[in-house]
Amino acid sequence: MAIHLGLLCASAILAVLVCVAAQGGSSRFPAIMVFGDSTLDPGNNNNINTPAKANFPPYGRDFPGRIPTGRFTNGKLSSDYLASALGIKDLVPAYLDRSLSSNDLLTGVSFASAGSGYDNMTAESGNVIALWKQVQYFREYISRITSIVGAERASSIVSNSLYYLAAGNADWGVSYFFNIGNAQNNRAMNYTIPQYTDLLINSGLGTITDLYNAGARKFIVAGLSILGCSPSERTFLAVAGRPCNARINDASAYFNRHWAPALSNLESSLPGSTIVYSDIYDIVVDAVAYPFRYGFIDPTRGCCGTGLVEVGRDCARAAAISCPDASRFLWWDSVHPTSAMYEIIANLVMQRDVPRLP
């Protein structure tokens, strides 16, 4: 109940901040920079050669203008809600969007790519943008804004912006538990869960350090959700009643327990940095266990299609039988949350994590 009551307060904070932004109030951050996977990709994958795309209906059916932007949900992402609540802007665009304006760049973009992860092999297997490449794009981004506003202001934007990072979902969900390729590419055959956790953490810390070396200072870094409770994992478990996959959830929890202190240790080693670990595991646990508290109905199914297995093109093929009101669902497709769930996560980040930044 404490989490639920806290979210009511967070919703009030969100409403006030959006109101202030609408009246011309300035944000404490000049821009927001986003890195990670499909939970934060607003359409970068539209512009690369990969099957991991969502730029077609019914994705985006509740987005402003009903546009399928490439976001793997029915509407906005947590990064969009967060940017709006902070008074920066309503939507965080994809860095690879060819129509970006100067203002789009100066107020922040997302470098995230659906199917990416802390493990470089995860991105390679889906031919998407690895985190090292996202950092490379960020360095290119700095050059672009420097040409617009000059070195001094560009440096100020970079050092004072909020950096929002979330990854690891595809690492566990694809590379570890469901990669059925040869032994060389099947992480579960070569690493124990603790060993793979170490691999992911070392890579993730390297990504944050690279961003720091490029000028970033203020980070919010998300942990993993309860991956084993997504509709697809329940379905693939093939057990009557479709319970959550406890083995995957245990791996997620194990990663989170080690990720949080690793981030704290890294912060101590990077002078002037603030790295806030954002725990989203418990909020999704609560939404799955008590869906009616959040206005949801069945937390075991997605809105798209049957809600059991559809994602990507399968979601499009089953669009005709999708639910009429996605706001009543925690999951949009069989893997990704609805815009309603992303708003809940953004509210939590605003209430709990943002105040910890300087």
**Known catalytic residues?**
38, 333, 336
Beta bridge partners of 276: 220
**Sequence-separated (6 or more) residues with CB below 8 Å from residue 142:** 154, 158, 214, 215
Give the closest residue to 32 by CA, choosing from 157, 167, 205: 157
* Residues 130/124, Cβ–Cβ less than 8 Å: yes
Q: How far apart are CA 10 and CA 279, in angstroms?
A: 15
Give the single-character DSSP code of 94.
Answer: B
- Write the burial class of residue 191 (CB in 10 Å: 0-12 exposed, 13-18 middle, 19+ buried): middle
End-to-end CA distance of the chain: 29
* Residues 175/45, Cβ–Cβ less than 8 Å: no
H-type alpha helices, 270-325: 281-289, 313-317
Q: How far apart are CA 89 and CA 312, in angstroms?
A: 28
- Write the burial class of residue 146 (CB in 10 Å: 0-12 exposed, 13-18 middle, 19+ buried): middle
